Structure 1
Amino acid sequence: MFSVLRRVQKGHRKKVSSGRKLGIITKDFALYYKAYKLLSERGIPVYHGLPGDPIPLDVGIVLTSEEDAKYIDHPVKVVVRDDAPLEKYIEMAIALLGSKGSPEHIVIGIDPGEYPGFVVLSNGRILNAKNLKRPEDVGSEIKFFLNKYSPKTCVIKIGNLGGIYLYRILKSLVGIKARVEIVNEYSTSFKLRKTSDVLAAIRIAMRSGKEINVEEELNRMKIPDGVLKDIQRKSRLISNGRVTISRELALRVALGELSINEAIEVMLKKKDLRNSAPTRGH
């Protein structure tokens, strides 16, 4: 175990003008050492602590490991995973050290996916950044921030490459009073999608998009037949060939109403009922 660092030496470059610190909160000494070295080279003020320690108010962003993240209570966490070099996460953390600003106007950027990237910006400052657990959580998350900040205006910007996940996100936005735009990701964050959903969401939030009516867009969109067939194929594989879920259940899985395992259980129960039903004439 190593001690908590309250101060760090100055880097060779000039420190960022905001004066806010970047916190490295982790028990992983190797991660701390590598991250501290990269941040010091860039002149970023650093605070180091352990999961569970009180985090000073001047720590604007927390960099941590996937194992430690669940023990850290902070609104903006950058969780380092093995899917990209550490430098990418350092880049993200530095980008999140925003300038001061009043949240009278907020922009919400969303990178569609199984675990959507989600950011809230105001006047160039990132108020929150995270990955959500499922597409359906986007609507409730937006309502939370609208209630928290009561902004005069709000623009929701969503990437256009989400497929079925985009559909599920749009469903969660029904009834939310805000301007909604679809942003062409081919010209913005497409290359970032493999390394960071949150970075992609930041890029999306900073680009202009095409305004849409959510209800009209949902009526226009159709779930591709290939998506439903792929879900049925996966159900057959997961159940070891015991059952293939129906098209109706596959649609509910695609819409996020059921997990594929729940749909398999429904089909198995139906199959058991059919097998246990008495045969006519006996």
Structure 2
Amino acid sequence: MRVAVITADARVYYLATRVLKEYGIAFHSLSPGERVPPEVEVVLTGPHDRVDFPVKVIVRDEDFIDELLARLEGRGRFKNIYIAIDPGERPGVSVVADNRVLEVRHLKSPQDVEPIFELLEKYPGAKIKIGHGAKRHRVLMLRALEKVLGSDYPVLLVNERGTTPKVGGVEASQVQDIVAAINIGLREGKETTIGNLLNVREPTKREIEHIKHQSRIKSGGRITISSDLAREVAKGHLSLAEAIEIHRKKRKGDGDDIR
């Protein structure tokens, strides 16, 4: 038996053992802290379990079986694996390995990068690809990634022109983000670093005016942020929502109408 299930989480145990039985994979059932038999090569455990073992697969849903089978087949994962990001207000993310889509995610915001770190941990050796569009949102995301990964962390910048399909329906935008992320993962990219991508040029007057206009739309016509705040948004130092809130508090502090 090359697999052991070690968890204190009843849900994780039930899910892992059910899927293992469906695939006919024999396994050891152990409690955290028990000695792992020497024949065990892979440990299945939950996201909140603390298990010290060199090769672990985290069980969050049934998709854990793909990673487990890859480990057992001796592939050590894949030759090339990419975590691809379509930057935007709600970024799409895909994991593409040897031109095969393993999973997709839809993030809440550009600063919602914790799922990216989870994927980097789940797929050791994976490289990040990011689309070149949506500059403001891309910079916000890169700044959030830089805080943990550092400015020298390598990434691949991909020309995303033509990656977003036209989709109809209520959830069209979410589908577009995911499909774009998959297409970015399948394309070649230019090697660079997070730091290089964060060397943002001074925004043009047109870009600043566009952001000011967007602030008025987002606030329902009640607020137009200052040019200085718009410049900070353009450079990725602030999100549009943060800039609006700063403007609102400043005007309130000055005792003026927030218009």
CA deviation vs aligned residue, 1:184-224 (integer Å, no higher than 9, x gap): 122x5144586511111111111111001221221144444
Tell me how far apart the structure 1 counterparts of residues 220 and 102 of structure 2 sit (CA, whole Å).
46
Tell me, yes or no, if structure 1 residue 158 matches structure 2 residue 133.
no
Q: Which residue matches 2:121?
A: 147
Matched residue, 1:167: 139
1:262 corresponds to which of 245, 249, 259: 245
CA drift of 1:120 comes to 1.9
Q: Determine the structure 1 residue equivalent to 2:77.
A: 103
- Cα deviation for residue 127 of structure 1 reads 3.7
Aligned-partner Cα distance in 2 for 1:229–1:205: 33
Is the CA contact 1:243–1:267 (under 8 Å) kept in the aligned structure 2?
no
Gaps of 5+ in 2: 1-14, 23-59, 71-75, 168-172
Q: Which has the higher contact order (CA 8 A, sep 6+)?
A: 2
Which TM-score applies when normalising by structure 2? 0.56
2:117 alignment partner AA: K
- Separation in 1, partners of 2:19, 2:144: 33
Q: Which residues in structure 2 correspond to 1:207-218 (within 5 Å)?
A: 207-218=187-198
CA drift of 1:236 comes to: 4.3
5+ long unaligned stretches in structure 1:
1-53, 60-72, 77-96, 276-282
Shift of 1:246: 1.8
Q: Are residues 221 and 137 of structure 1, via their aligned partners in 2, closer, same or farther at CA, if it must alter by over 3 Å?
A: farther
- The SS at the match of 2:126 is strand
Aligned length: 185
Deviation at 1:242, TM superposition (A): 5.8
CA distance in 1: counterparts of 2:100 and 2:90, whole angstroms: 23
Look up the match of 1:25.
none
Q: Matched residues in 1 for 2:136 and 2:215: separation?
A: 18
**C-alpha contact 1:243 1:268 (8 A) present in aligned 2:** no
Matches within 5 A, 1:1-282: 57=19, 101=70, 102-103=76-77, 106-138=81-113, 140-149=114-123, 151=124, 153-174=125-146, 175-176=148-149, 178-186=153-161, 188-191=162-165, 196-236=176-216, 243-254=223-234, 255=236, 256-257=238-239, 259=241, 260-272=243-255
Residues 261/107 of structure 1: CA separation in 2 closer, same or farther (3 Å cut):
same
Distance across 2 between alignment mates of 1:225 and 1:114? 22
Structure 2: which amino acid aligns with 1:161? G
Structure 1 residue matching 2:138: 3-state secondary structure: helix
Q: State the identity %.
A: 32
- Kindly tell me: are residues 235 and 125 of structure 1, through their superposed partners in 2, closer, same or farther at Cα, counting changes over 3 Å? closer
Considering only aligned residues, what root-mean-square deviation do their CA atoms show, in Å?
A: 3.7
Deviations 1:74-100, CA, capped at 9 Å, x for gaps? 588xxxxxxxxxxxxxxxxxxxx99x6
The one-letter code of the counterpart of 1:156 is I
The offset of 1:267, in angstroms, is 3.6
Which TM-score applies when normalising by structure 1?
0.52
Task: Tell me: CA distance 1:221–1:166, structure 2 relative to 1, closer, same or farther (3 Å).
Answer: farther
* Alignment partner, residue 7 of structure 2: none
**Cα deviation, residue 106, structure 1:** 3.0
- Does the 8 Å CA contact 1:180/1:214 hold for their aligned counterparts? yes
Work out whether residues 164 and 176 of structure 2, in 8 Å CA contact, stay in contact via their aligned partners in 1.
no
The aligned amino acid for 2:156 is: E
